[in-house]
């Protein structure tokens, strides 16, 4: 197959390009940039690829649909909301790593992203692509989930789907490395501010909250909101989503462990570590999500720790998972990755 990638200059786009180059079913990659007016070598557009003279073409939807079998968008929020229409109109496969098409409600998008939304009828045609639960097979436009959303939803799914917790008690304390903020410079991610520091940011305002709640509602319509807080870690990559919830009457640790194993034992990228709580480092460089838990029998609460590499399982890796589902490739194709241990 031939794949188009729009947006190779950001962190997720760079990593996605590397994954696609190693994918056994992707024979050719065409690169495009919506900011270019004429072609330029990749080494100029993204100097990290300084040895590559591969051309990056100006964005042209007709050329993309003519020359490729699928297009990936690794663009900032606010871009694909303006560009999605021709692909949906032609039934052309899209995997969108931005947040523009994840929500079903245009008002919610404008509230949380502070940008104009795509037409709501187009937003509702996109399939939310949480790969373990929402198969991309047979879909046209796949909205790749956010990194915080991926770690949190995978951590919560067995508890919510099997009605093991009081859903009004869910509290999520999620922490991310600085790469989650992208390449754009800011005071918060400046080395002097981030190093040897912890910073809570976007309290009750993070843009991944509505997609988390939207998906949770699909599993349990009684859920209306969750308590969700984000903290910046002084590391480059990784997310730990620490989830707390009150257990329903009669639910014990054995019940919970069975629920997690029943849900994930057949999933190649989700590993249940039982009461051996995972660390971020053990998943960096992989498309894995490792999940462990601890039950407090005195308070009746469960704590779930869900860890991912935000650049892979939280972005580019899950996009390749969705590609594999979309085209019926092996689930692990292009994703045989080993953790970066040091």
DSSP 61: H
Measured CA to CA in angstroms, residue 224 lies from 69, 170, 214, 220 at distances of: 39, 11, 9, 9
Q: What tokens appear for 119 in the block?
A: 């037409």
Burial-class residue 27 by CB neighbours within 10 Å (0-12, 13-18, 19+). exposed
Alpha-carbon gap, residue 174 to 4, rounded angstroms: 33
Give the chain's length.
342
Q: Annotated catalytic, 147?
A: yes
Q: Which of 31, 126, 147, 160 is catalytic?
A: 147
CB 86 within 8 A of CB 61: yes
Q: How far apart are CA 326 and CA 306, in angstroms?
A: 26
DSSP secondary structure code for residue 247 in this structure: B
**272 near 265, Cβ under 8 Å?**
yes
Half-sphere exposure of 329 (CA within 13 A, CB side): 16
What is the rounded CA–CA span in Å between residue 9 and residue 190? 20
Residue pair 116/110 in contact by the 8 Å Cβ criterion: yes
- Active-site residue numbers? 147
């Amino acid at each position: 197959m031939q794949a188009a990638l729009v947006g190779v200059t950001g962190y997720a786009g760079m990593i996605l390009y590397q994954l696609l180059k190693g994918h056994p079913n992707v024979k050719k990659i065409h690169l495009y940039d919506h900011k270019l007016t004429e072609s330029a070598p990749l080494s100029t557009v993204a100097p990290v690829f300084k040895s590559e003279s591969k051309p990056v073409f100006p964005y042209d939807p007709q050329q993309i649909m003519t020359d490729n079998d699928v297009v990936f968008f690794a663009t900032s929020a606010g871009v694909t909301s303006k560009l999605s229409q021709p692909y949906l109109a032609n039934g052309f496969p899209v995997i969108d790593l931005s947040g523009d098409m994840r929500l079903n409600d245009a008002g919610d998008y404008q509230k949380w992203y502070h940008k104009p939304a795509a037409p709501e009828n187009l937003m509702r045609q996109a399939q939310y692509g949480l790969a373990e639960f929402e198969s991309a097979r047979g879909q046209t436009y796949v909205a790749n989930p956010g990194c915080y959303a991926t770690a949190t939803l995978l951590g919560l799914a067995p508890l919510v789907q099997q009605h093991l917790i009081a859903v009004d008690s869910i509290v999520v304390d999620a922490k991310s490395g600085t790469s989650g903020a992208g390449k754009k410079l800011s005071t918060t991610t400046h080395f002097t501010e981030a190093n040897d520091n912890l910073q809570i940011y976007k309290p009750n305002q993070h843009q991944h909250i509505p997609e988390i709640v939207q998906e949770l509602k699909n599993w349990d319509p009684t859920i209306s909101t969750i308590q969700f807080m984000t903290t910046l870690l002084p590391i480059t990559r990784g997310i730990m989503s620490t989830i707390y919830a009150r257990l329903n009457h009669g639910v014990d640790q054995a019940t919970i462990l069975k629920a997690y194993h029943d849900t994930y034992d057949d999933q190649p990228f989700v590993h249940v570590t039982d009461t051996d709580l995972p660390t971020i480092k053990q998943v960096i460089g992989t498309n894995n999500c490792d999940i462990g838990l601890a039950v407090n029998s005195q308070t009746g609460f469960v704590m779930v720790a869900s860890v991912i590499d935000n650049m892979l399982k939280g972005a580019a890796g899950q996009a390749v998972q969705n590609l594999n589902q979309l085209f019926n490739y092996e689930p692990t194709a292009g994703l045989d990755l080993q953790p970066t241990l040091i």
